[in-house]
Structure 1
């Protein structure tokens, strides 16, 4: 990167969200200017914005705006050297309640970003935050088996995870909106010559995550346990996910950005991979061991499109940019628990019976 490029900021849409602010922090720490573009509507994002500014001062500019407003998007895209596009509606549950809003944010908002680049800044690359939900539910009940505390596929060939060749099968308005955006980003590279990459992310967790029941489930479970509140398990709790610590996710994003011209037009799965998996019930076990207190929990019905098993196969991104996860899940959970305790306070609680 030459000096002229270094003087131009990296635009992060959703730049005050969990992953966005960690990316902004990493870029600013290596001396780059950052524009964090965010509508500041989600819980915790104003605090993340203040955290970024307190750490980096004038290197970080926070711009309040919404990707649904094409004029605001053009204003911030026009002079960016690159765009990391993370602004989104992030919850399947909200997409079921307000599918039109979900479409306007996730599909139309992404198209606004792409059009702003195509018309006003064609040379700037864009990296897009997609999701494993584009693959749909993946398995029928007969294609997984129960091994006690988790589901596993009956097909042993999937032991290394789901790769990018898996067919797309959008499920839920959220899956449809993100899936449409995913394909638009890819196609703007093929048809209009934009420099793009798509990262289909699994469960990213870590400090500065204000987890809720609808999004950020590892942080949500830990925070509920910290507060001594019961956790609701949707489904049987044996759903399996691979989890990726935000420090590793940030390294992957920056590696893709730094090598964008060699990976343009490509799509990568991004997650913790087979070495960093947990079921919901196994996470409850880990929390009990870590905190010395078993969290209480109860069950409710499965939610639409919930995958009984999803693990990212991450060979493609490793081979393309030399990235691999470094933070083991147990160590990563400790780092998240420490941050939650420092932010929300450690609540003393007595051991209790598990509610099942």
Structure 2
């Protein structure tokens, strides 16, 4: 018998959340998205979901810091995909208490709602590579062209889940706290949880800003003709994962929860999709046919000079691997951003 109960997505009107909701509804699942609609673009994403899927997607306006609506939403859910969060390092530095309340306390509210009211519901949590801190010292990296590379050959395949945690910045602390709570609720209370420590996810429906969603922010700045500020020297490296591949990983974990419950996975594009900030700017110039003006500013707290994900644990467990290479993914994001923000004469359109 098919389980018709909805899948709850906290933060479901955000970038990754709405892409998850869209894919789930496309395959016929009922979805409830819980979102406080506080961030740029989320109201538009909510309208987009409703226009595409109608009654298959229900939108609940609530905040995970308030346990009552969280309990109400969790009680009847078939599964919980927990993405609601404060996502900017800079905001965490300016207001650490709020950052903690959203990321740590909000996650505890979700876990307690599941533990007390729906303990068989799978819980998949959006963690971050920031739980590993700055990761490597300047002495452990060297310059190769426009990017940093580690001097230790053992890091060539990327960062594995065995890497010691070293929270850096209030954001790293709050997300790391939540990460460990989710993992521990599987061990202590038997909840069916999975932690996804994600690196640089990008793609359509991402309203990138200077503080979060840097690939979309860089592309959008190029479309508008706005100059960029690069924090650091631009040679820092990330592995980029297209949102369609991220959604595929999440749904693989959800659909095979009995196989992976209690596990922690790193989720990113891996070595094949690694890129530095300066390399991205060059690719954007080739894609858009115009140069991107930029200047430099000081590094921000916890900025990693190099991070590439080792995805072998996820691949071994679920057979998952990234399908969209970065050149193709950039084209898809550029197409969406240009359709949303560009104009026929190349002038700038106001944001929503």
TM-score normalised to the size of structure 2? 0.97
* Separation in 2, partners of 1:345, 1:134: 36
**Match among 107, 110, 119 for residue 110 of structure 1:** 107
**Range with greater deviation from structure 2 (340-349 or 286-295):** 340-349
1:132 aligns with 2:129: yes
Aligned residue among 254, 257, 264 for 2:254: 257
Partner of 2:165: 168
The alignment partner of 1:8 has SS state of coil
| 1:296 pairs with 2:290 | no
**Residue ranges of structure 2 left out of the alignment (5+ in a row):** 348-352
Structure 2 match to 1:240: 237
Separation of aligned partners in 2, 1:55 and 1:346: 24
Residues of 1 paired with 2:300 and 2:45: CA distance?
A: 30
State the match for 1:30 in structure 2: 27
TM-superposed deviation, 1:348: 5.2
Shift of 1:225: 0.6
Change (3 A) 1:30 1:166: same
Q: Tell me by how many angstroms 1:346 deviates.
A: 4.0
Q: Aligned runs of 1:85-100 on 2, under 5 Å?
A: 85-100=82-97
Equivalence for 1:337: 334
Question: How many Å separate the matches in 1 of 2:241 and 2:344?
Answer: 27
The 5-angstrom pairing of residues 1-356 of structure 1 reads 2-3=1-2, 5=3, 7-346=4-343
Return the alpha-carbon distance in structure 2 between the equivalents of residues 156 and 16 of structure 1.
41
Tell whether the 8 Å contact from 1:28 to 1:59 is kept in structure 2 after alignment.
Answer: yes
Go from structure 1 to structure 2 and tell me whether the alpha carbon gap of 1:26 and 1:149 turns closer, same or farther (over 3 Å shift). same
Say what the alpha-carbon RMSD is for the aligned residues: 1.0
Q: Deviations over 1:238-262 (max 9, x none)?
A: 0000000000000000001001111
Q: How far apart, in 2, do the equivalents of 1:58 and 1:19 lie?
A: 20
Distance 2:280 2:262 in 1: 36
SS in 2 for 1:197: strand
Q: Return the alpha-carbon distance in structure 2 between the equivalents of residues 69 and 211 of structure 1.
A: 27
CA displacement at 1:148 relative to structure 2 = 2.4
Residue 229 of structure 1 deviates from its aligned partner by 0.4
What CA distance in whole angstroms lies between the structure 2 residues aligned with 1:116 and 1:17? 22
Matched residue SS, 2:283: helix
| Number of equivalences | 347
Q: Deviations over 1:184-218 (max 9, x none)?
A: 00000000010000000000000000000000000
Task: Point out where structure 1 has 5 or more consecutive residues left out of the alignment.
Answer: 351-356
Q: TM-score, normalised by structure 1?
A: 0.96
Q: Cα gap change, 1:349/1:24 in structure 2, threshold over 3 Å: closer, same or farther?
A: closer
Q: Deviations over 1:37-76 (max 9, x none)?
A: 0000000000000000000000000000000000110010
Partner residue of 2:350? none
User: 1:146 Cα shift?
Assistant: 1.1
Q: Once the 2 structures are TM-superposed, how far is the Cα of residue 108 of structure 1 from its aligned partner?
A: 0.3
Alpha-carbon separation, structure 1, partners of 2:302 and 2:61: 33
CA distance in 2, matches of 1:334, 1:347: 18
1:226, 1:346 within 8 Å by CA — same for their partners in 2? Answer: no
Q: Distance in 2 between matches of 1:97 and 1:151?
A: 29
